[in-house]
Structure formats: structure tokens, C-alpha cells
């Protein structure tokens, strides 16, 4: 199974939940591809391609809300009751994933146990049927905050570094000037002794 995770939930935890779900429906999930991402929705939903069979050759996409499931919003928006909203987050996640596995197995809503909504109602009325997922972890990724940079301190340190470089360059130039000045004096003394230059022409 390949899990592409674009949320702040830990990928390893999501994968363990998905594999546990697969064990209830599929013989194999080696080639199953699962993408987990956020959506603007206030509840968990998903989609999957039809086909793949029991060998798990399918694609599943799970959409998670950025905030906790909003039960009042769901009750107020939909005429058809959606009791699954009252399951806990991990139970809804597991149920939605299992639901998408039905699609991987070429099943439409009408072919699910007593219909789509009846299936939801069954698990909402019998949450113990999904209690196995409560034993699995679902943790958030650790967010490492970058320390705030003090711009004045950073600029001061840059000035100190620049001065150090310039002082090093200046010292090198002073040593070179000293070296070439000594050579100039040597050649002037030799040339004056040979009468090739006059003393007044010497620097």
C-alpha cells in the first residue's frame, strides 16, 4: 500500500488504520494507492475508482476536514439524517475508507448492506462494531517551529563578519605593501650604485 499524505496526521498511523480496514474486505492491499488530503468540507468523505478486485489494485482518496467534524452543520444542511457524524473521528475515518473499498470491489451504494444510509445508521447505532479502531493511534505530526530571527542582531552579526573579512584583507595588503616596498628600496639602491638612476628619481 502506498499512502500519499498531505495532512498533518502521521502517515504511519493512517497506514495502520487503512491496513486494518483492508483486512476486513481485501485479500491483498499491496497495490492499493491511498491519498489523504484536506477539503473545505466539515466532515470526512472519500472517493475511489471502481475495480481492482480483491487484489487491491485501486486508488482511494480520503478528504479530511481541517477542523473537528461539525455535527450541527451536517444536521442543518442535509435532509437525510447522517448519523455517522456522531461517531468519533477515527471511527468515521475507518468507515469511510471501508466504504471506498466497497467501490474498489465494484459495489455501488445500492449493493451495500441494506443500502448506503442504512449501512451508516447501523454503525452509528452500533458503534462497538467500529470499536477496534479505537485501539489504533492517530497522532498529529510534530511541528518544529523555526526560532524567530532578531533582524537587528542578525544585521549586527553581519557587520561584525564583514569587518573581520575587511581587516583580514587590509592586513594582507599591508604585508604585500611592506614586501614590495622592500624590493623597491633594494632595486633603487642597486640601480643608483650602477648609475642607472639618480637619487632624486628614487621614490
Residue 143 counted as domain residue:
no
Residue 9 counted as domain residue:
yes
Domain co-membership, 44 together with 109: yes
Q: pLDDT above 90 covers what percent of the chain?
A: 33
Domain co-membership, 72 together with 103: yes
pLDDT tens-digit readout, 119-153: 667 777 777 878 888 899 999 988 777 788 888 98
Q: How far apart are CA 175 and CA 166, in angstroms?
A: 14
User: Residue ranges of the chain with pLDDT lower than 50?
Assistant: none
Domain co-membership, 17 together with 73: yes
- The per-residue pLDDT for 160 is 94
Residue 31 counted as domain residue:
yes
Q: What is the pTM of this model?
A: 0.64
Domain co-membership, 11 together with 53: yes
pLDDT tens-digit readout, 5-14: 999 999 999 9
Q: How far is CA 33 from the centre of its chain?
A: 18
- The per-residue pLDDT for 113 is 63
Q: How far apart are CA 59 and CA 74, in angstroms?
A: 27
Domain co-membership, 157 together with 131: no
Domain co-membership, 19 together with 43: yes
Q: How far is CA 20 from CA 23, 87, 134, in A?
A: 5, 18, 12
Contacts of 143 (CB under 8 A, 6+ apart): 8
> What CATH number did the domain enclosing 115 receive?
3.40.390
Q: DSSP code of 52?
A: -
Residue 71 counted as domain residue:
yes
Residue 164 counted as domain residue:
yes
Cell 477496534 locates to: 132
Domain co-membership, 111 together with 191: no
The secondary structure of the chain in percent helix, strand, coil, rounded to multiples of 5, reads 55, 10, 35
Cα of first residue to Cα of last residue in the chain, in angstroms, is: 84
Domain co-membership, 101 together with 163: no
Contact 43, 70 (CB under 8 A): yes
Residue 140 counted as domain residue:
no
For residue 174, give its domain range.
Answer: 151-201
Domain co-membership, 127 together with 155: no
Domain co-membership, 97 together with 173: no
Domain co-membership, 9 together with 49: yes
Residue 162 counted as domain residue:
yes
Domain count, the chain: 2
- The per-residue pLDDT for 178 is 93
Q: Residue 57 has which C-alpha cell?
A: 489494485
Residue 145 counted as domain residue:
no
Amino acid at each position: 500500500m502506498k499512502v500519499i499524505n498531505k495532512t498533518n496526521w502521521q502517515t504511519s498511523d493512517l497506514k495502520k488504520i487503512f491496513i486494518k480496514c483492508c483486512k476486513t474486505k481485501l485479500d491483498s492491499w499491496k497495490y492499493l494507492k491511498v491519498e489523504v488530503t484536506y477539503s473545505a468540507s466539515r466532515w470526512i468523505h472519500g472517493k475511489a475508482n471502481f475495480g481492482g478486485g480483491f487484489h487491491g489494485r485501486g486508488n482511494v482518496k480520503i478528504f479530511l476536514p481541517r477542523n473537528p467534524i461539525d455535527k450541527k452543520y451536517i444536521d442543518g444542511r442535509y435532509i437525510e439524517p447522517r448519523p455517522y457524524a456522531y461517531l468519533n473521528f477515527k471511527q468515521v475515518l475507518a468507515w469511510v475508507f471501508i466504504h471506498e473499498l466497497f467501490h474498489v470491489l465494484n459495489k455501488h451504494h445500492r449493493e451495500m448492506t441494506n443500502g448506503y444510509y442504512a449501512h451508516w445508521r447501523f454503525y452509528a447505532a452500533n458503534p462497538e462494531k467500529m470499536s477496534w479502531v479505537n485501539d489504533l493511534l492517530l497522532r498529529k505530526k510534530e511541528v518544529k517551529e523555526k526560532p524567530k530571527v532578531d533582524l537587528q542582531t542578525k544585521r549586527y552579526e553581519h557587520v561584525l563578519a564583514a569587518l573581520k573579512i575587511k581587516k583580514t584583507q587590509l592586513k594582507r595588503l599591508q604585508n604585500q605593501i611592506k614586501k614590495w616596498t622592500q624590493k623597491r628600496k633594494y632595486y633603487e639602491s642597486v640601480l643608483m650604485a650602477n648609475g642607472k638612476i639618480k637619487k632624486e628619481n628614487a621614490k
